[in-house]
Structure 1
Amino acid sequence: MDDSQPRFLDDVTVELVRHSASDTDVLWAARVSTAGEQSLEEINKDPERSKGLINYLMRDRHGSPFEHNSMTFFVRAPIFVFREFHRHRVGWCLAGDSEITLVSEKGNIRRRTIAELYRLWHHGVEDALPSSGGGVTWKKSAGKWSAQVKYANKSHYLGLHETREAAERVVAEFRAEHPSKRLRKLASVRRNHVRCYDETTLLASRARILDVMESGVKRLIHLTTESGRSLRCSVDHAVLTPEGWRKAGELEVGDQLMAAATAVPPSEALVPPSLRRGIGVWTSMQRLRLIRETDTCHLCFRSFPREELALDHVVPVAANLLKALDPSNLMPACSPCHRKKSDAEQALAKRGGKVSIAKPDPIVSIEDGGEEMTYDLSVEGPWHNFLANGIVVHNSYNEESGRYRELQSDFYVPGRERRLVQEGRPGKYVFVEGTDEQHKLVTEAMEASYRQSYAAYQEMLEAGVAREVARAVLPVGLFSSMYATCNARSLMHFLSLRTKSEQAKVPSFPQREIEMVAEKMEAVWAGLMPLTHAAFVANGRVAP
């Protein structure tokens, strides 16, 4: 088939990209408070005891031991599935007055509240209209006061009045009804970048904002740190700590948050040129062993043939010389990402003065933060974090962008097993089998629509129209892709919402297409953490 012709698919793709997830992670985390750090041999001595402990943690809702693990999934599905991912994220909410640190290309800093960013992003920028003049004058011939206003380059006569106060009141009323400001949506608002941090080196960087979301009215907690920073957020919002990402509601006074700070930069002078050349030779020798024929860039998560990939020191040589010859510190990176990261590291090493980093800041108080409308950001990778009131917080959504690459011509058409007919009312409805005629109608209508819209998309691209403009004609049945990172606890919550099961204590009615994604994610997870998965199912499929 010609690559420009649409392909019609009836299934979704879920692949495990990388993970550090096993039942032993849960056991280690649970037992460290009572038995100290234990060896793997000790933990595996009594499998039944381990199974019983995991079941106890699940049953009594002790959630934090299930968070000391990580899974990154590559998901390819129709766009409308990702809208469900996006809409049903749990927690991840900040108070509207949280100040977000924005960084220009030249490194200039400014701050806006997240509520203001949401208003500008979705409703536009306040812009002055042409000046409004006029006012009140005495008309001697009439013996009265004349009222008139110039508005939007037009004069508006407001009549004669017996007193000056009456004329001024009419002018004031007119100006109140016709404000000299208007709302315009400016493209520059959507080019904002936030301060973010490399989670390995803790050095500051910048990332483009992809979306600003209103997350609904939520109950908040108020965290205050030793340096005087404060953050009001939902209990489920992830914040960066020296031990990694943790939910705000699990933190206690004395725990540390990572916050904006400055430090003396690393210097290239610490690494002699001869040693640097030797490190380069050794790194080149590892290519065949550490890069597969087709592999994934650890910075942009796209796949490339081996010849287009380099080995990148995740922790830069100048930042930690001890990791220079550590194979576990080497990851594949595509040429553009590797060049960009290397340039930034070299500029940092050569720059004098101090640089921006993230440093620990102890919590001194945790209080009730009230209840109000909340917001969140989605930012571009590879580091999906940003600064809110000077504290490093996380976002959780990273979908393929149609602004920077031509979108592939893969479209979703339901398979014959997909039930098409909805019966009943909301909350009580069920889906039943469609007829052959209904399936034929759906298939033919969708395929015709897809062909027409993709042809229009291609026509605009060939005419030189920007991708971000041309993509507007494409329907939500287009396949997109996303990297979703989660721990076992957050995955269990997602599964409880996005799968339908007779074993669930709380019924759920997910759309079939996102349930297909959830089922595939659950199958992978069950293989990684069988005891945890069994306990999840046995306890009514409720996340702890």
Structure 2
Amino acid sequence: MTDTPADDLKPSFRSDVSVELVKHSAADSDVLWAARVSTAGEQSLEELQKDPERSKGLINYLMRDRHGSPFEHNSMTFFISAPIFVFREFMRHRVGWCVAGDTEITLESEAGRLRRRTIAELYELWHLGVEDRLPHSAGGVTWHSRAGKWTAQVRHGEKNQYLGLYENREAAESAVAEYRELHPGTRLHKLESVRRNHVRCYDEETLLARRARIVDVIESGVKQLIRITTESGKTLRSTVDHAVLTPEGWCKAGELVVGDAVLAEGTTPRPSEAQVPPSLRRGIGVWTSMQRERLIKETDSCHLCGRDFPRAELALDHVVPVAGDLTQALDERNLAPACEPCHAVKSAGEQAQAQRGGEIAKAVADRIVSIEQDGEEMTYDLSVEGPWHNFLANGIVVHNSYNEESGRYRELLPHFYVPDESRKLVQEGRPGKYVFVEGTQAQQELVGRVMEDSYAHAYEAYQEMLAAGVAREVARAVLPVGLFSSMYATCNARSLMHFLGLRTQHELAKVPSFPQREIEMVGERMETEWAKLMPLTHAAFNANGRVAP
């Protein structure tokens, strides 16, 4: 079932999160350069070496007067390890990359049919639901015995509307009908089918089209946008730090220049069986079978379905078909274990495609012809299931900003969160006015004991299902949100400030925030790393009430 050492499968418990800054291009000079380039041009680089106090004053001015775009010309990538419930909060208060609301996302059905929806429409359907055109107002006419009259009232939305007392029933009913005519209502409900949508994405090695499930649709706030237009007429409106796939790899939108190429939706001739002579195909088959013992472990995972099998039930599969790219036919990196059922289905599909000829969907290069500023507006992003984490935005391949550990593709280890005594346990007050206070020793002991017992039981059930051959993506459903996961998160200083304003408490904050303690711990550690990189910007953030510009 697994090659994980037995000691690693014993539940372990942690009370802290970890945040590591793994790469960055961020300094106060980035803000100064971006702010001065409009007036000083190329000499803006020389201006950075001048009066430090003047530089400090400029950053403070930009922060105070909410000039946000100069704070976006930088990047920080963090590796975060925290309980799963922290990442659910992280996704709600998103920092990082995003696109305009009118950006069309290419959706793909299981049968391969394509359709497009704007990302703003997806957000509304995902979170708010759709109108079913049925009256939302309820209520009506009742007899008020004490007053001796008829009462008319209507419930519209979330409020009761009292329309008054009437001498006769007809007058009361007329008042209700008139109110409903003046206030037509529609009821909203969520469509489960929307939650099952898949996007068209691309294998970043072969550039062939694939499908990936949408995990979440996020509203990311009002941000400055640029517009990229390509030779084929495609346009992408995004923030400068949104990652775009190019023939050389991932690149930030703001780093692209006219003449660069991005990868966009396209087609390529479908490979034909006639391209590979039968004698050569047999030779490749013999060579491939000779690699089985060396490249397949005694128990290994099928790269197509993710389940574990003994070596005898696995074949070596060419990830990129032989007819698709003959140069990879004898490349070990193009070989992966596949169970017999999956291998048979994949082989049959490849043969059918080869016989049909025609074209297949593949990302192709598209040269940029213009890049321009495009104002500020509400922005959105998708979270897409792996392994590729990309999607089509107006026909151009872009990345989603978070890569979280996937329980579909690897066995999750039993590291769980148990709060220590510094975590306040008791909530007092009502929503919006509540505070947390210290728990008793008995409560602390209860929390630790119950959590550890439930974690151990859940993980034992998870292991039992894996041992029985149940797919990881099914077995993981029994695991609690206190399980530790990990992810990479990329952001710029402006989006990080927005996140910190929402997810940390601070005595200097103009707008109070009441974050859950565990995500606040993540925010505090991100802020510590950021303050080292951009001390002037961090000081200005605090001096101006910790409100993002």
**Residue aligning to 1:112:** 117
Q: Is 2:278 the partner of 1:273?
A: yes
8 Å contact from structure 1 (residues 201, 319) kept in 2: no
2:446 is paired with a residue whose SS is: helix
**Residue aligning to 2:232:** 227
Provide Cα deviations, 1:346-392, integer angstroms capped at 9, x if missing partner. Answer: 45433332222211111111111211111111112222111111111
* C-alpha deviation, 1:441, in angstroms: 3.4
Provide Cα deviations, 1:160-204, integer angstroms capped at 9, x if missing partner. Answer: 8xxxxxx9x99776334133x321112111111111112222221
The partner residue of 2:191 within 186, 198, 213 is 186
Measured at CA, do residues 273 and 541 of structure 1 come closer, stay the same or move farther in structure 2, by a change above 3 Å? farther
* C-alpha deviation, 1:325, in angstroms: 1.1
How many Å separate the matches in 2 of 1:298 and 1:403? Answer: 11
Measured at CA, do residues 321 and 518 of structure 1 come closer, stay the same or move farther in structure 2, by a change above 3 Å? farther
How many Å separate the matches in 2 of 1:317 and 1:64? Answer: 44
Q: Report how many aligned residue pairs link the two structures.
A: 423
Measured at CA, do residues 315 and 453 of structure 1 come closer, stay the same or move farther in structure 2, by a change above 3 Å? closer
1:319 is paired with a residue whose SS is: coil
Give the counterpart letter for 1:444 in structure 2.
L
Q: RMSD of aligned C-alpha atoms?
A: 5.8
**Residue aligning to 2:320:** 315
Measured at CA, do residues 515 and 316 of structure 1 come closer, stay the same or move farther in structure 2, by a change above 3 Å? farther
How many Å separate the matches in 1 of 2:392 and 2:119? Answer: 11
Q: Is 2:205 the partner of 1:200?
A: yes
Measured at CA, do residues 361 and 318 of structure 1 come closer, stay the same or move farther in structure 2, by a change above 3 Å? same
**Residue aligning to 2:156:** none
**Residue aligning to 1:533:** none
* C-alpha deviation, 1:259, in angstroms: 1.1
Give the counterpart letter for 2:180 in structure 1.
F
8 Å contact from structure 1 (residues 191, 208) kept in 2: yes
How many Å separate the matches in 1 of 2:351 and 2:489? Answer: 30
**Residue aligning to 2:181:** 175
* C-alpha deviation, 1:92, in angstroms: 1.5
Give the counterpart letter for 2:184 in structure 1.
H
**Residue aligning to 1:78:** 83
How many Å separate the matches in 2 of 1:242 and 1:385? Answer: 15
**Residue aligning to 2:329:** 324
Give the counterpart letter for 2:397 in structure 1.
V
**Residue aligning to 2:253:** 248
* C-alpha deviation, 1:280, in angstroms: 2.7
What is the TM-score of this pair, normalised by structure 2? Answer: 0.59
1:118 is paired with a residue whose SS is: helix
1:349 is paired with a residue whose SS is: helix
**Residue aligning to 2:142:** none
Measured at CA, do residues 251 and 102 of structure 1 come closer, stay the same or move farther in structure 2, by a change above 3 Å? same
Measured at CA, do residues 292 and 374 of structure 1 come closer, stay the same or move farther in structure 2, by a change above 3 Å? same
8 Å contact from structure 1 (residues 241, 256) kept in 2: yes
How many Å separate the matches in 1 of 2:334 and 2:445? Answer: 47
1:115 is paired with a residue whose SS is: helix
Measured at CA, do residues 280 and 510 of structure 1 come closer, stay the same or move farther in structure 2, by a change above 3 Å? same
How many Å separate the matches in 2 of 1:330 and 1:421? Answer: 52
% identity of equivalent residues: 58
How many Å separate the matches in 2 of 1:537 and 1:276? Answer: 58
Measured at CA, do residues 447 and 126 of structure 1 come closer, stay the same or move farther in structure 2, by a change above 3 Å? farther
8 Å contact from structure 1 (residues 450, 475) kept in 2: no
Give the counterpart letter for 2:370 in structure 1.
S
The partner residue of 1:445 within 440, 444, 447 is 447
The partner residue of 1:355 within 345, 351, 360 is 360
How many Å separate the matches in 2 of 1:280 and 1:287? Answer: 11
2:265 is paired with a residue whose SS is: strand
* C-alpha deviation, 1:541, in angstroms: 12
How many Å separate the matches in 2 of 1:485 and 1:346? Answer: 41
**Residue aligning to 2:150:** none
Query: Pairwise mapping of residues 6-25 of structure 1 onto structure 2 (< 5 A)?
Result: 7=11, 9-10=13-14
Provide Cα deviations, 1:421-460, integer angstroms capped at 9, x if missing partner. Answer: 69xxxxxxxxxxx99x86763342243256569979999x
Measured at CA, do residues 172 and 249 of structure 1 come closer, stay the same or move farther in structure 2, by a change above 3 Å? farther
8 Å contact from structure 1 (residues 414, 443) kept in 2: no
